[in-house]
Structure 1
Amino acid sequence: MLLIYTHKITPRVKYVFKQICTRILGVPVSFTTVIEEFIAHDSLKMSYTRQPLSNEIFVRSNELLFEQGLSDIDITVLPWEDTKCFFPTGDKSAVPFDIFAASFYLISRYEEYLPHLKDEFGRYTAEESLAYKNNFLDQPVVDIWAYKFKAILQATYPDFSFPEQKYTVIPVIDVPMAYEYKLKGIMRTVGGTFKDFFTFKFRRLYERYSVLTGFKRDPLDNYKYIINKQKASKYKFVFFFLLGDFSTYDKNINPQKQKFISLIKHIADYCKIGIKTSFFALTNLDLLKEEKTRMEGIINNAIVGSRHSFSKVNLPESYRNLVELEIPEDYTMGYVNHLGFRAGTCTPFLFYDVDFEVQTPLKIVPYQALDFAFLKYHSLLDKQQSLKRLIKSIKNVNGTFVPVFHNYTFNKQERWKHFKTLFNIILDVKKK
């Protein structure tokens, strides 16, 4: 156990030290404000305060972890060996930056509480973030800092046996629309037919009726391929199905249709199941509760978690609603158009409500790669290289890689031509 001496034990201090030391490094932590207790401790220990007590491992504390609420923080990002950091500490400190305050700033998503510009869907964008502006979005900096801290502990306590963490993958399959043409009902099929005809989309019209008459497979029906991949993989896939009502933003199958229900039940035999929260349920607790109840009624089990429509997270409201409904995990923390680490980490963490200064039970499982983000790389080689760089950065810190693919990603459209290859690289990274 690592004992931490500090002049004040705050919720922020406990939260971030447990994330870095316990969840990332696997070392349990305890805290004290009593100097005698600290001196008597005969195993790993450090002080996190303004001045060192003696010759112990000392990290000079920034005030951020001892404050309450939000303030406009002036941050200067500086280079640090192979990475970057902020909140410099001075000569006496064992590390040149307060990695604990910096980590709290990133994983609490402090900056997303502050005023910022949103995109057309009301989302926080990568371009607004400290990581993007300072060119470290492509690094899991919180995990990198944690391992630098581990090296200091190992050098000071060479006899201590640190647990080995392991790289893992959680492949996410997002299903905003289960089928392109099937199970849409007469009105939607007739409307789609007229739309195809009057917009001269005759190839689509032909495809529609080839599917409806059973001569072709629906272009979004790639479930057999995905299930076969699951059967051969050591990693457990997580499916998110949209069960919201038809709207401007959400156009899935009616959740009452028996064949749609059968599809979800079939997938649940092999994979974990969560809900893809509909666009209007993001701000409507009653709608979200209804969608959660629908899914749990279908799978006869608790859902693994949720993923928001359009990858939209508005802090803190989005996560407070999940906490209220006791949804255990969220898989929305990432960027649509950029590969990388929105919260600066590839280790799941608990949502900390900065307004209420409380750690919640909601586990945030950040994703680092959405299929759309690969579309900006034009060649297969570019896509592969960017993916392998991302995987390497996560493997270096024994993190959790969470890629998000959609059911339509595996169809035969030209834009998704090479995505099965990318998926295979993810599932078997030894084939580099």
Structure 2
Amino acid sequence: MILVYTHKITPRIRYIFKHILTRTLLIPVNFTSKVEEFVAHNGPKMSYTKTPLANEFFVKSNDLLFEQGVNDLEISMQKWDNVPCFFVTGPKSAIPFDIFAASFYLITRYEEYLPHVKDAHGRFTAQESLAYKKGFLEKPVIDIWAYKLLAALQEKFPDYQYQKREYQYISTIDIDNAYAYKYKSLVRSVGGFFNDLFRFRILNVWNRFAVVFNIKKDPFNTFDKILRIKKDYKIRTVFFFLIGDYTTFDTNVSASKSKYRLLIKEMVDYARVGLHPSYFSMDNATILKKEKERLEEITNMPATRSRQHYLRFSLPETYQNLIDLEITEDYSMGYASTVGFRASTCTPFYFYDIDFEIQTPLKVFPFALMDTTLNDYMKLTPKQSLGRIRDLKNQVKAVNGTFITLFHNESLSDYLRWKGWKRLYESMIKIAIS
């Protein structure tokens, strides 16, 4: 256990010290604001204030963790042995910047509470983020800082028994369209048929006909393959099912179709299943509640995991709605337009609500990359994609973090825009677990 002295113990301090020391470095932490208690403590100790008390491990504090609400902060970047950092401290500090304030700023998505330009889907964009602008989006800097802090602590307290965490991998699959042609309503099937015909997509017309009349298997029905890979490589897999009502952005098979319900029930037997809240659920708690109840009615179990469709979420409102509905895990933390670490960490963390200044029970699982990002946004080939995947995995493995990927059942289909991509998923799994 490490004892931390600070002149004022705030919820922000408790939150970020526990994240870095306990959840990342596996070091239990206690706090005191009494100097005599701190001086009497014999084990490892650290002071987090403006001036050191004696010769303890001292980190000079920035004001951020003693404030409330959000302010427009002046941020100037520095380097700590080639690692970008900010909130620089003075020469007396054991490390050259306030790791706790900087980590709090990034992990709480402080900048997403400030005024910003949204994209066409109402999302905070990667290009607006400090990590993108300063070139560290593809590095989990909070974890890198934590391990550098650990090295400094080991030097100061060599007799303390430090534990080491294990690298983990989680594969997540979004089911936006369980089937390309099967089990769609008559109106949608006929409309799609004439649309393809009108645009001279003759191959699509034939495929649609062949699938609907059971001559061929539906191209998006890749679930057997995903489950086979899960079993062969013994990987943790989570499926997120879109079961919202039909809209321009939500085009899945209707949740009232027995075959689709059966598919969801089947997946529950083999893997973890979560909710994929529909496009308009971002700021609509009623839609979210209806879809959660719909999934629970299909699976006969509480829905506790979710990932927003189109990665549409707004802080803190969307997360507050999820918390109200007793969702305990969210997997939306990432960008659509580029790969990397939106919250600058590859360690699952509890959402800190700056509106209420509390750590919430919602655990956020940040993902590092998505198949549609690689193909549609970054225009990479499958081979180029594997290179980026390997780089990101190596970043996570270096800090024993949790590497989370986001794929869709469609990208294993080798169909339409996914031509040539069907082997990428399994190749990625091999990289992820090597």
TM-score between the two structures when normalised by the length of structure 2: 0.97
Deviation sequence 1:268-288 (CA, Å, 0-9, x none): 111100010001222211111
Query: How many Å separate the matches in 1 of 2:281 and 2:190?
Result: 28
Query: Cα 1:388–1:243, aligned 2, differ >3 Å: closer, same or farther?
Result: same
- Residue 114 of structure 1, CA deviation: 0.4
Name which of 394, 397, 404 aligns with 2:396.
394
Within a 5 Å distance, the mapping from 1:402-417 to structure 2 comes to 402-413=404-415, 415-417=417-419
Rounded to whole Å, the distance in 2 between the matches of 1:154 and 1:49 is 21
Give per-residue Cα distances to partners, 1:91-126, cap 9 Å, x unaligned. Answer: 000000101000000000000000111110001110
Cα distance, 1:73 vs. partner?
A: 0.1
Correspondences of 1:5-404 after superposition (within 5 Å): 5-375=5-375, 376=378, 378-404=380-406
Q: 1:152 is aligned with what amino acid?
A: A
**1:333 partner amino acid:** M
- The answer on whether the counterparts of 1:219 and 1:411 sit within 8 Å (CA) in structure 2 is yes
SS at match of 1:402: strand
3-state SS of paired residue (1:428)? helix
Distance 1:177 1:132 in 2: 31
- CA-based RMSD: 1.4
SS of match in other structure, 2:159? coil
Moved more, 158-167 or 64-73: 158-167
Q: Residue 431 of structure 2 corresponds to which residue in structure 1?
A: 429
The answer as to whether partners of 2:386 and 2:428 remain within 8 angstroms in 1 is no
Give the aligned length: 432
User: Structure 1 421/39 Cα, relative in aligned 2: closer, same or farther at 3 Å?
Assistant: farther
Distance 1:208 1:415, change over 3 A: closer
Runs (5+) with no aligned partner, structure 1: none
Q: Following the alignment from structure 1 to structure 2, what is the Cα–Cα distance between the partners of residues 102 and 172?
A: 29
**Native 8 Å contact 1:425 1:431 kept in 2:** no
Q: Which amino acid aligns with 2:53?
A: L
Distance 1:380 1:328 in 2: 34
- Alpha-carbon offset, residue 382 of structure 1: 2.2
> Contact 1:409 / 1:419 at 8 angstroms: preserved in 2?
yes
- When structure 1 is superposed on structure 2, of 139-148 and 159-168 the one drifting more is 159-168
Partners of 1:109 and 1:343 within 8 A in 2: yes
* Mapped partners of 1:233, 1:395: distance in 2: 18
Deviation of the 1:383 alpha carbon: 1.8
- Which amino acid letter does the alignment assign opposite residue 383 of structure 1? S
CA distance in 2, matches of 1:418, 1:197: 25
Deviates more, 1:145-154 or 1:38-47: 38-47
In structure 1, C-alpha distance between the alignment counterparts of 2:433 and 2:169, rounded to whole Å: 15
User: Per the alignment, in what secondary structure is the counterpart of residue 431 of structure 2?
Assistant: coil
State the alpha-carbon separation in 2 of the partners of residues 19 and 337 from structure 1.
Answer: 28
Q: Which moved more, 1:363-372 or 1:153-162?
A: 153-162
Task: Return the letter of the residue paired with 1:310.
Answer: Y
Deviation track 1:122-169 (CA, whole Å, cap 9, x = no partner) reads 011100000000000010000000001111111111121111101111
**TM norm structure 1:** 0.97
Does structure 1 conserve the Cα–Cα contact (< 8 Å) formed by 2:283 and 2:314?
no
Q: Distance in 2 between matches of 1:430 and 1:287?
A: 35
- State the distance in 2 between where 1:220 and 1:278 align: 19
Q: Secondary structure at the match of 1:171?
A: strand
- Whole-angstrom distance in 1 between the partners of 2:150 and 2:317: 35
CA separation in 2, counterparts of 1:167 and 1:64? Answer: 31
Percent of matched pairs sharing the same residue:
49
**Residues 16, 100 of structure 2: 8 Å contact kept:** yes
CA deviation digits over 1:366-412, x for unaligned, max 9? 11101122222544442222111111000000000110000101011
Q: Which of 96-105 and 365-374 deviates more? A: 365-374
User: Is the CA contact 1:59–1:93 (under 8 Å) kept in the aligned structure 2?
Assistant: yes
* 1:337/1:370 contact within 8 Å kept: no
CA–CA separation in structure 1 for the residues paired with 2:122 and 2:382? 32
- Deviation of the 1:413 alpha carbon: 2.9
Q: Which amino acid aligns with 1:413?
A: Y
Stretch moving more, 391-400 or 180-189? 180-189
CA distance in 2, matches of 1:381, 1:282: 34
Alignment-mate amino acid for residue 223 of structure 1 = F
Aligned equivalents of 1:333 and 1:339: distance in 2?
Answer: 11
2:173 and 2:238 in contact (8 A); partners too: yes
**Counterparts of 2:353 and 2:187, CA distance in 1:** 45
Specify the code of the residue in structure 2 equivalent to 1:400: T
Give the stretch that moved more between structures: 228-237 or 260-269.
228-237
Counterpart-to-counterpart distance in 1, 2:10 and 2:397: 32
Please say if residues 377 and 383 of structure 1, whose CA atoms lie closer than 8 Å, have aligned partners that are also in contact: no
The question of whether the paired residues in 2 share the 8 Å contact of 1:168 and 1:235 is answered with no
CA distance in 1, matches of 2:7, 2:332: 36
| Unaligned 5+ runs, structure 2 | none
